[in-house]
Amino acid sequence: MKSALVKKITDRSANISILGLGYVGLPLVRLFCEQGFQVLGLDVDQEKVEALKQGRSYIRHVDSEPFRQWHQEGLFTPSTDFALASEADAIIFCVPTPLDDHREPDLTYVINSVQGMAPYLRPGQVLCLESTTYPGTTHEELLPRVEQEGFRVGEDFFLIYSPEREDPGSSTHTTRTIPKICGGETRACLEVGQTLYEQVIDQVVPVSSTQTAEAVKLMENIFRSVNIALVNELKQTFMRMDLDVFEIIRAASTKPFGFMPFYPGPGLGGHCVPIDPFYLTWKAREYDVATRFIELAGEVNTSMPYFVVQRAAEVLNEHTKPIKDCNILVLGLSYKPEVDDDRESPTYRIMDLLEQKGARVYYNDPFVPRIKPSRKFSRFAGRESSPLQGDYDLVVLCTAHSEYRKINPEELAAPILDTRGVFENIPGKVYQA
């Protein structure tokens, strides 16, 4: 059965099903379609499916035109009907793995997806989870649910874990060029999984198990979280000394060894770095391990929006204005420059804290013209991007979009609180946070 599946994959006759058509799933659809595979795109969001049927990509950095063409040619079928996956040879899960209100893993989307797919599984399929999660998820949660359908892993079906490594908006690192980690439940599983991804990814990196592959993804993002926390703490220290942390980072970066630059900001955003470390801290408790370093980094990064709001109050006070009843414009809602991805953006927390203190808060973002509903900050849904010029008492820059780098601070009536080191400090006009 393995040989037959490998042959179908290598001769491009395999049907690929991708469940979850977001920032991970949609670029993956594009890769497989580009290589001539028949692709079924599944999502529970009817609006996303209808947009794709009309040839419209709802992600800014993913071009619409190819999807329009592939859909017309019958190469790509977007749908909400899980039953269609019974024809798939490969099923790839790209669903969210958030934290619950207690900062514990919420695998609801993963488990519901696997259970929803279970009636349509058949022998000779490869199943892959790409969602970030703790070591053991594939083995402990996916494997038993598929085996209870009567399939034998490594013989009737093949189970792998291959973490997503998307860098939204980057022209340097694309889905195709970023090396792909792949771990299998058995040697046969790994062989099938490696073959699958080698058709669309330049380099596939095999590892010894699904648990190892899951741990790789967590290590990558914990590394970022800890180093960002360090530089956020250093920023506050250097500010007390009246030193510019961004100048210090630029100078330190000239060292050709032993230093890697990380940059401070108003907090962590995106679906990975603010969330993934806590998947490991949760799992570590099962082994009586206290992950103090990771948790301390989380505390530092989580505190940054509060630091920004404190600085906002200090700047307004310097201009003899209380924060209450002030008009504050926040620049940048997306979590990183040049993308429309606002998941876990620290700007939301900053807006929330400012409003709690009585400020009237507006936002500007060229990539997020209107705020969509979200779980944490549903009350912001429907707000629209405001103009740069207006009757504002303070402007807070949270995202370093290229458009903002063109701003001349002297042309704005209000002072600027810069959390990203975009502008040079100007006494009485540009402040660091």
What SS3 class is residue 245? helix
pLDDT for 168 equals 77
pLDDT for 282 equals 93
Q: Is residue 352 part of a domain?
A: yes
Residue 177 belongs to domain with CATH number = 3.40.50.720
**Together in a domain, 156 and 266:** no
Confidence of residue 21 (pLDDT cuts 50, 70, 90): very high
**Together in a domain, 372 and 403:** yes
**Together in a domain, 120 and 235:** no
CA dihedral 330, 390, 407, 263 (to 10 degrees): -10
pLDDT for 121 equals 94
**Together in a domain, 75 and 135:** yes
User: Residue 263's domain spans which residues?
Assistant: 230-432
Q: Which of 150, 177, 208 is the last residue of a domain?
A: 208
pTM confidence score: 0.92
Confidence of residue 155 (pLDDT cuts 50, 70, 90): very high
pLDDT digits (tens, 9 = 90+) for 41-84: 999 999 999 999 988 888 887 888 888 899 889 999 999 999 99
Q: Which of 208, 240, 258 is the last residue of a domain?
A: 208
232-249: average pLDDT: 96
**Together in a domain, 200 and 236:** no
Confidence of residue 431 (pLDDT cuts 50, 70, 90): very high
Confidence of residue 295 (pLDDT cuts 50, 70, 90): very high
Positions annotated as catalytic residues are 272
265-290: average pLDDT: 92
Q: Is residue 411 part of a domain?
A: yes
HEC letters along 213-233: HHHHHHHHHHHHHHHHHHHHH
Query: What is the distance between the alpha carbons of residues 195 and 188, in angstroms, rounded to a whole number?
Result: 11
Q: Which of 142, 174, 208 is the last residue of a domain?
A: 208
405-428: average pLDDT: 94
260-277: average pLDDT: 92
The total domain count for the chain is: 2
pLDDT for 375 equals 79
pLDDT for 102 equals 84
Q: Is residue 420 part of a domain?
A: yes
What CA–CA distances, in Å, run from 158 to 125, 167, 317?
6, 28, 63
22-48: average pLDDT: 94
Helix, strand, coil proportions of the chain in percent (round to 5)?
40, 15, 45
* Region for 179 from its dihedrals, namely left if φ exceeds 0, alpha if ψ lies in -120 to 50, beta otherwise: beta
**Together in a domain, 250 and 135:** no
